[in-house]
């Protein structure tokens, strides 16, 4: 670090002793509210908070109206906007997706008729990723649980890949003391080798002319510029130069022909981060039209579709899928591409899960409640106060003093949280038990409110 920073080294050490900034990114598909907070300058929906609140006790976080994300990692927005036509339908891969910061960010930036695949190799983390994707509610994301080598089966499929590679974590030292204890030169070497394997494994799945966004939360050159230089030597690839504003404080680097971007805590308001943007060489090929294939995805029957199609806005824009008793919705233009993913990968979650059908009985699912395409007019709604909302999110019994035998869409500040079923004057809580808040509620509830509308 002394060699990399020179005279800035002492300022760097001092910054590592300071409290890291807290930042969030809004979901434009769920809120138009703009908090009166400082902006993250390279991300349109990014904001810095003045202090870190207890996010667990804000129902709007659980409703997917915003995501708590480190500001530096929001810089992928600049790569996408500067080198990719986001108006076009794209196939996008977030290879190391958990817990979901970059995946939800990508979903907000690409067009509705683009297909996003968000992957996580560790199964427990893949379920966390699926939860956060469902809460974001964009409806055009598949969550997969695969090793990077499995993506070789999808040759030249993706227009864009984001590889936020597992790394030695030097940029997280002030946030995570465990990262300091785990650091060693040996671990740096192991991480660099693993990153090379990951890049090699997924490279075939990127289309010629496609873009790879590579990032780490570490600073050493071995895991960053040297890896991208190695990739350029192994494959036909070139790094792309982005336009930076001086006030951002981002440090551009030029090593072995690699254009890279470094975030240092004494120069930028964020944690340690590195990013490079790579374009794959070659000429994009038109996909050959083969014989009519056998699909793996199964369409819901017309009778089942008729039961639920008015639950989404613009239902004609979706295909309705059925797996067992669960009906899901996926934007219609994505059916063929999604089926190809299902044919080759293990998919945990797809589109938006709408309902569970048992004969003539329908049970609306959590994915529907949190979908950006939900037609609220199709349901009876009830607004909860803060205490009621938190008790609902803890999966406790709540009472609204109502009677009936119908499904209720429960909301907080007019934002859907999930479902409850009235049974007489009793109310059954259908919030997913694996998502529930586990912390005890304080006697005095917090006054923190990020969004007021």
Q: Same domain for 219 and 254?
A: yes
Residue 191 has a pLDDT of 97
Final residue before a domain boundary, out of 247, 280, 313: 280
Is residue 415 a part of any domain in this protein? yes
Q: Order of strands, edge to edge, in the sheet holding 380-383? A: 380-383, 407-412, 415-423, 426-429
Q: Same domain for 431 and 330?
A: no
Read off the CATH number of the domain in which 398 is found: 2.30.130.60
How many whole angstroms separate alpha carbon 100 and alpha carbon 135? 10
Listed in order, strand segments (DSSP E) in 37-111 are 46-49, 66-68, 91-94
DSSP of 232-294, one letter per residue?
HHHSSEEE-PPP--GGG--EEEEETTEEEEEE-TTTSSS--EEEEEEEE-S-PPPPP--SPPP
The structure tokens listed for 137 are 């509610």
Read off the CATH number of the domain in which 77 is found: 3.40.50.150
Residue 149: count of CB within 10 angstroms of its CB: 13
Residue 292 has a pLDDT of 56
Is residue 53 a part of any domain in this protein? no
3-state SS assignment for residue 29 = coil
Number of structural domains found in the chain = 3
Q: Same domain for 331 and 388?
A: no
Is residue 267 a part of any domain in this protein? yes
Let me know: does 225 contact 178? Beta carbons within 8 Å.
no
Is residue 177 a part of any domain in this protein? yes
Residue 358 has a pLDDT of 83
The structure tokens listed for 351 are 């589109």
Q: Does residue 96 carry a catalytic annotation? A: no
From the list 108, 109, 93, the residue with the least C-alpha distance to 164 is 93
Do you find a cis peptide bond into 99, omega within 30 degrees of 0?
yes
Q: What is the pTM of this model?
A: 0.96
Residue 74 has a pLDDT of 98
Residue 115 has a pLDDT of 98
Residue 57 has a pLDDT of 95
Q: Same domain for 206 and 242?
A: yes
Residue 44 has a pLDDT of 97
Q: Same domain for 271 and 162?
A: yes
Q: Same domain for 257 and 387?
A: no
Q: Which of 96, 167, 191, 217 is catalytic?
A: 217
Residue 453 has a pLDDT of 46
Confirm whether residue 387 is marked as ligand binding.
no
Residue 288 has a pLDDT of 53
Q: Same domain for 228 and 254?
A: yes
Confirm whether residue 201 is marked as ligand binding.
no
From the list 129, 133, 167, 168, the residue with the least C-alpha distance to 146 is 129
Residue 446 has a pLDDT of 84
Is residue 23 a part of any domain in this protein? no
Please list, residue by residue across 273-293, b when 16 or more beta carbons sit within 10 angstroms of its beta carbon and e when fewer do: bbbbbbbbeeeeeeeeeeeee
Confirm whether residue 159 is marked as ligand binding.
no
Q: What domain range includes position 426?
A: 379-437
pLDDT in tens, the chain (453 residues): 999 999 999 999 999 999 999 999 999 999 988 889 999 999 999 999 999 999 999 999 999 999 999 999 999 999 999 999 999 999 999 999 999 999 999 999 999 999 999 999 999 999 999 999 999 999 999 999 999 999 999 999 999 999 999 999 999 998 888 888 999 999 999 999 999 999 999 999 999 999 999 999 999 999 999 999 999 999 989 999 999 999 999 999 998 889 999 999 999 999 999 999 999 998 877 665 455 568 899 999 999 999 999 999 999 999 999 999 999 999 999 999 999 999 999 999 999 999 999 877 889 999 999 999 999 999 999 999 999 999 999 999 888 888 888 899 999 999 999 999 988 888 999 999 999 999 999 999 987 778 754
Task: Write the secondary structure of 286-322 as one string of H (helix), E (strand) and C (coil).
Answer: CCCCCCCCCCCCCECCHHHHHHHHHHECCHHHEEEEE
Q: Order of strands, edge to edge, in the sheet holding 318-323? A: 318-323, 326-331, 352-358, 361-364
The structure tokens listed for 207 are 């289309």
């Amino acid at each position: 670090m002394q060699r990399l920073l020179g005279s800035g080294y002492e300022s760097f050490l001092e910054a590592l002793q300071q409290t890291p900034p807290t930042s969030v990114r809004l979901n434009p598909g769920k809120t138009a509210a703009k908090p009166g907070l400082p902006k993250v300058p390279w991300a349109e929906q990014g904001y810095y908070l003045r202090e870190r609140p207890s996010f667990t006790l804000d129902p709007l976080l659980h409703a997917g109206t915003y995501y708590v994300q480190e500001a530096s990692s929001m810089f992928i927005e600049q790569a996408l906007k500067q080198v990719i036509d986001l108006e076009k339908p794209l196939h996008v891969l977030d290879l190391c997706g958990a817990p979901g910061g970059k995946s939800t960010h990508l979903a907000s930036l690409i067009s509705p008729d683009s297909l996003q695949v968000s992957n996580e190799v560790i199964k427990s983390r893949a379920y966390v990723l699926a939860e956060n994707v469902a809460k974001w509610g964009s409806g055009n994301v598949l969550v997969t649980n695969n090793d990077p080598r499995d993506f070789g089966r999808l040759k030249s499929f993706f227009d864009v890949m984001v590889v936020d590679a597992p790394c030695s974590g030097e940029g997280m030292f002030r946030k995570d003391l465990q990262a300091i204890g785990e650091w060693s030169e040996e671990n740096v070497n192991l991480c660099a080798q693993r990153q090379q394997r990951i890049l090699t494994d997924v490279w075939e799945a990127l289309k010629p002319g496609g873009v790879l966004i590579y990032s780490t939360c570490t600073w050493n050159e071995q895991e960053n510029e040297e890896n991208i230089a190695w990739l350029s030597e192994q494959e036909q690839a070139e790094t792309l130069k982005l336009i930076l504003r001086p006030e951002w404080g981002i440090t551009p680097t030029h090593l072995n022909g690699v254009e890279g971007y470094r975030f240092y805590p004494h120069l930028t308001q964020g944690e340690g981060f590195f990013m490079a943007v790579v374009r794959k060489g070659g000429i994009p090929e038109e996909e050959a039209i083969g014989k009519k294939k056998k699909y793996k995805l199964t369409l819901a029957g017309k009778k089942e579709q008729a039961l639920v199609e008015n639950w989404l806005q613009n239902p004609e824009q979706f295909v309705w899928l059925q797996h067992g008793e669960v009906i899901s919705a996926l934007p219609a233009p994505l059916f063929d591409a999604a089926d190809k993913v299902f044919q080759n990968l293990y998919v945990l979650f797809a589109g938006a899960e709408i309902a569970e059908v048992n004969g003539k009985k329908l049970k609306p699912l959590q994915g529907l409640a949190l979908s950006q395409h939900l037609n609220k007019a199709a349901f009876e709604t009830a607004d909860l106060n803060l205490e009621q909302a938190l008790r609902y999110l803890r999966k406790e019994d709540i009472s609204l003093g109502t009677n009936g035998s119908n499904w209720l869409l429960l909301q907080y500040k007019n934002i859907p949280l999930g479902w409850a079923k009235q049974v007489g004057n009793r109310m059954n809580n259908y919030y997913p038990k694996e998502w529930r808040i586990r912390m005890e509620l304080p006697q005095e509830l917090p006054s923190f409110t990020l969004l007021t509308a």
